[in-house]
Chains A and B, each alone.
Chain A
Amino acid sequence: MKIYLYILVMAVTTYLIRAVPLTLMKKPIQNRFLKSFLHYVPAACLTAMTFPAILYATDHMVSGAVGFAVAVFLALRKKSLIVVAVAACAAVFVTEQLIKFL
């Protein structure tokens, strides 16, 4: 039974983290620093999550690096989300297979 209590505590904590800032801060922020800060949060956060984590997501760092390079290359050419994502996976898979043969 205790396992359900864990799950409940986990879910409620996570929900509150998401809900409190979204609900209680409705009025537009006037502070220019805070506005600018929030403008830069999304790209900074996604970047910090992606690199260097992608290098450790595969069996060999090389394949992660290849997947990263392929994704950046295609994203620079404005390919769609799914094309970039699938190409990165394919690049990782092919590189890992190649490493096995070397």
Chain B
Amino acid sequence: MKMKEFMTGMKAGLPVCVGYFSVSFGFGAMAVAQGLTIWQAILISASNLTSAGQFAGLTVIAAGAAMLEMILTQLVINSRYALMSLAIGQRLGPTVGTGKRLIAAFFNTDEVFALGMSRGKELTTTFFVGAGISAAIGWTAGTAMGAVAGSLLPQSVRMALGVMLYGMFIAIVVPQAKEEKTILYSVIFALLFSCLFAWVPGLNQVSGGLAIVICTVAAAALCAVLFPVEEEVAAE
């Protein structure tokens, strides 16, 4: 049964695997261009499993900046994972032990998180890790290919592949918003805040990672005040 659950997770993670492959391809090529070896590029992807965080980390390494700057950059850009981990931890419930949680935590990326949450009450760490391993394989393999092949693919194709992850986010969010009106409001608020941070002078100086955190917290808090969930919905 466990194996079946794991395979279900891996299968669910396949689109993520494909999407990650194209993005990390770019990361691999960029890392080598910045003077890292192929193995160092692969090591970063295999040990971090983040997108924006790794790209920012590369900049820190290339600049030879202080370790503290590396820590701060990662804390800010990846802080959204803390919210996601909190949500996953709540969804799993108190019966799931620390060991399983420590393993699952490593694989918590935006997309794996979304897959996990879309499973509702049925979420298990086995499913989560299965999906996460699919994602990690795509991410690491893409990095390796990118580092080896460099810019073999024409730029026009690489750029088009760059929107694949956004397409997946949309495929996850839109049906939820269509189904549940309060979710739709949270989406609208997040969209509004996000546009403010992108286009309003001053606000657009805030780093991308931090802006995502602020928009998420603001939209979710606003909806929590305006439309508090019923007890049984919240327990899901």
- A interface, CB within 8 angstroms of B: 2-11, 13-15, 17-23, 25-29, 32-54, 57-59, 64, 67-68, 71-72, 74-76, 78-90, 92-93, 96-97
> Are A37 and B221 neighbours in the complex by a CB distance under 8 Å?
yes
Query: Whole-angstrom distance from the CB of B207 to the nearest CB of chain A?
Result: 13
Query: Whole-angstrom distance from the CB of A57 to the nearest CB of chain B?
Result: 5
Query: Whole-angstrom distance from the CB of A98 to the nearest CB of chain B?
Result: 12
> Are A50 and B159 neighbours in the complex by a CB distance under 8 Å?
no
Which residues of chain A are near B80, meaning CB under 8 Å?
A: 45
Q: Beyond A49-B169, A86-B164, is A75–B174 a contact (Cβ under 8 Å)?
A: yes
> Are B48 and A23 neighbours in the complex by a CB distance under 8 Å?
no
Which residues of chain A are near B191, meaning CB under 8 Å?
A: 47-48, 51
Q: Which 6 A-B pairs have the closest CB atoms?
A: A88-B167, A75-B174, A85-B167, A36-B224, A84-B171, A35-B234
User: Per a CB cutoff under 8 Å, which of B40, B189, B211, B224 touches A7?
Assistant: B40
Which label, helix, strand, loop or mixed, suits the secondary structure of the B interface?
Answer: helix
Query: Whole-angstrom distance from the CB of B218 to the nearest CB of chain A?
Result: 8
Query: Whole-angstrom distance from the CB of A15 to the nearest CB of chain B?
Result: 6
- B interface, CB within 8 angstroms of A: 14-15, 18-19, 36, 40, 43-44, 47-50, 53-54, 57, 60-61, 64, 67, 70-71, 74-75, 78-90, 93-94, 96, 98, 101-102, 104-106, 108, 110, 113-114, 117, 156-157, 159-178, 182-183, 186-187, 189-191, 193-195, 198-199, 208, 211-212, 215-216, 219-221, 223-225, 227-229, 231, 233-235
Which label, helix, strand, loop or mixed, suits the secondary structure of the A interface?
Answer: helix
Please name the residue on chain A nearest to B37 by beta carbon: A3
User: Per a CB cutoff under 8 Å, which of A19, A53, A64 touches B102?
Assistant: A19
| A35–B234 CA distance with the chains assembled, in angstroms | 6
Give the most central of A2, A36, A71: most B CB within 10 Å. A36
Query: Whole-angstrom distance from the CB of B225 to the nearest CB of chain A?
Result: 7
Query: Whole-angstrom distance from the CB of A68 to the nearest CB of chain B?
Result: 7
Give the most central of A37, A51, A97: most B CB within 10 Å. A37
> Are A93 and B198 neighbours in the complex by a CB distance under 8 Å?
no
Which residues of chain B are near A27, meaning CB under 8 Å?
A: 94
Give the most central of B90, B93, B195: most A CB within 10 Å. B90
> Are B48 and A11 neighbours in the complex by a CB distance under 8 Å?
yes
